[in-house]
Structure 1
Amino acid sequence: MSVLRSPNMRSDSPQPDLSLRDHDNDSQIAYGKRKQPESECSAEISKLRQEMMSFLKDFSVAQTTNMNKMKEEIMSQLKDQLSGLQITSNKIIAEQNQLKSELKSFKKTTEGDIQALQDSLNYHSGRQDENVQKIQSIASEVTKVNNIGEDIRQLRNKVNDLQFELNTHQQRERLANLEITGLPQKTNEDLRDYLLKISNIAKCQLALEDIISINRVEPRSKLLDKPKVIVAKLRSTLIRDSIISGIRRNRGLTTVDIGLPGEPRQIYVNEHLTPLNKMLFGKAREATKKNGYRYVWVKYGKIFTRKDDTHPPVHIRTIEDISKIK
């Protein structure tokens, strides 16, 4: 229903006073430029009052409906929250009850274990005294073992000294020996002839009488497709050193140089070292190469290294001496 409002009237303004004024005053109300009859004015006022009352009634109903709806929504939300709080509260109560039950059980168990713990402590205290005595006894035995260990260390040093002396003695027996490796092996070969040809290349005068013995020797570590080493025992170290020096001046030796057919193969002529000295020489060569040393050589069965011309030579006697090459 449409409602007639004055230009300044709002829906939230106080209800106007619609009571009838004195007829003398009402007779003074004019609409437009001419006066209307009194009956028409009363009818319009009554109609306006009815429209206002109808509007207020509709507005009140709408407001009541909205308020009820908001109330229902709020109550629903409160119920949901209360339900969640109730569930949480129930969980907390259940956990508290469980904790109380566990505490009671723990208290009973603890009361029962205290006496057992006290008895166990008394028992272990007695055992501890026994263990102290055993530890003291073991410490005494350890002292004896340490003394034995010192004896073993001294014995090991003596063994090393004896090994060094034995190696020195064995090397001394080989001072006049010449070792030839890389020379192909064949049946009915004349090793003395090979040695004479090698001495000629080295420009060393060698007679058959200077060769005391010459044989092929099986190496301790057999190498596949490698000929056996030739060891020649000569009359003097001077002859041996002359042959070795001559081959070095010749810048090496091959099978072609001594008249053997086929592809040339390198032949090496060196001093005849003991197995221990061969091992030390190999280790020394590896260490000098790794640490940038310029020289490593053997002289009269002794192994030497030298960093460069400004450093003194280092004599390698034992495997511990390899650590000096740094």
Structure 2
Amino acid sequence: MNFFNKTFEDMKKEFVTAQEERNAMKKENAELRLKCDESENMIRELHQRLVQCEQYSRRSNIEIRGLVETDGENVTDLVMKISNAVGEAVRCDEIEACHRVPTREAGKSTVVVQFKSRQKRDALLEMARKKCIRNSQVGIKSEEQIYLNDHLCPTLKRLLTLALARKREFKWRFVWTRNGKILHGKWNQPISSASNPENDLWKIV
């Protein structure tokens, strides 16, 4: 009988010890999970701030797509011709910088224009959105359309690509950008630019 009592007590002690170890591991896991969540939130917040800073640095810029590249071109002169075509004339001294940016597609480089005044940039964009401009209107032998848009940072460009894919998939009427924000025609509100844009897009479907 003493043998069975001792065996039972030993098993009981082992069970209590195992239970205590299990509880300690659960507590440790909970603490680690909390730290992991806090770290993820901090990373997400830092990424959001980085996106905001990158986009803020582009607040006076526009991006021009569809402008056919020609030999010996003067890009600044072409920008002024585009501005005349849309009805919001831009002078050379109102432009801080103007240059082409290569893309993955040969012959499809974009033009980035930085204005000295954000007000001038906004006025030009507003007029350009109301008109269809073609290369022939600036002296280039092409009827390809020219597009003037916000100059988005890489994260927001990626988000815009995803938003356009959702537009086709879910029959949204519009997706557009304004002042560095991507808006959609379902609710006419901005799409988040958080560090996980795919999740943000699924939330608004």
TM over 0.5: yes
Q: Deviations over 1:122-150 (max 9, x none)?
A: xxxx9998688557535523431331122
Does 1:182 pair with 2:66?
yes
Select the structure that is richer in strand: 2
TM-score (norm 2): 0.81
Structure 2 counterpart SS, 1:249: coil
Which of 189, 202, 205 is matched with 1:314 structurally? Answer: 189
Measured on the aligned residues, the alpha-carbon RMSD in Å equals 2.5
Note if 1:242 corresponds to 2:117. no
Contact 1:288–1:325 (CA under 8 A) maintained in structure 2:
no
SS in 2 for 1:223: coil
Say which of 250, 253, 269 aligns to 2:133: 253
Structure index of larger Rg: 1
Structure 1 residues 32-111: aligned runs within 5 Å: none
Can you list the C-alpha shifts for 1:287-315, whole angstroms capped at 9, x where unaligned?
233223223221110122232xxxx5222
| One-letter amino acid of the counterpart of residue 139, structure 2 | G
Alpha carbons 1:182, 1:227 under 8 Å: kept: yes
Q: Tell me the distance in 1 between the aligned counterparts of 2:170 and 2:189.
A: 14
Matched, 1:325 2:200: no
Cα drift, residue 322 of structure 1: 1.0
Distance 1:170 1:131, change over 3 A: same
- Give distance in 1, aligned partners of 2:57 and 2:11: 67
| Alignment partner of 1:161 is 2:45 | yes
- Asked if the contact 1:215–1:232 (Cα under 8 Å) also holds between the matched residues in 2, the reply is yes
Greater relative contact order, per chain length (Cα 8 Å cut-off, separation 6+) = 2
Q: Deviations over 1:138-171 (max 9, x none)?
A: 5523431331122111111111111111211221
- Give me the whole-angstrom Cα distance separating, in 1, the residues matched to 2:15 and 2:108: 67
| Distance in 2 separating the partners of 1:162 and 1:186 | 42
Paired with 1:281 and 1:182, the residues of 2 have a C-alpha distance of: 18
The letter of the residue matching 2:68 is: P
List gaps (5 residues or longer) in structure 1: 1-125
Query: Is this contact kept in 2: 1:202–1:244, CA < 8 A?
Result: no
> Counterpart amino acid of 1:227?
K
- Structure having the higher helix fraction is 1
Q: Distance in 1 between matches of 2:54 and 2:80?
A: 26
Percent sequence identity is 25
Instruction: Work out the number of aligned pairs and report it.
Output: 192
Alignment map for 1:164-313 (pairs within 5 Å): 164-218=48-102, 222-250=103-131, 252-261=132-141, 263-307=142-186, 312-313=187-188
Shift of 1:211: 0.3
Partner of 1:38: none
Q: Secondary structure at the match of 2:201?
A: helix
CA contact 1:255–1:264 (8 Å) conserved in 2: yes
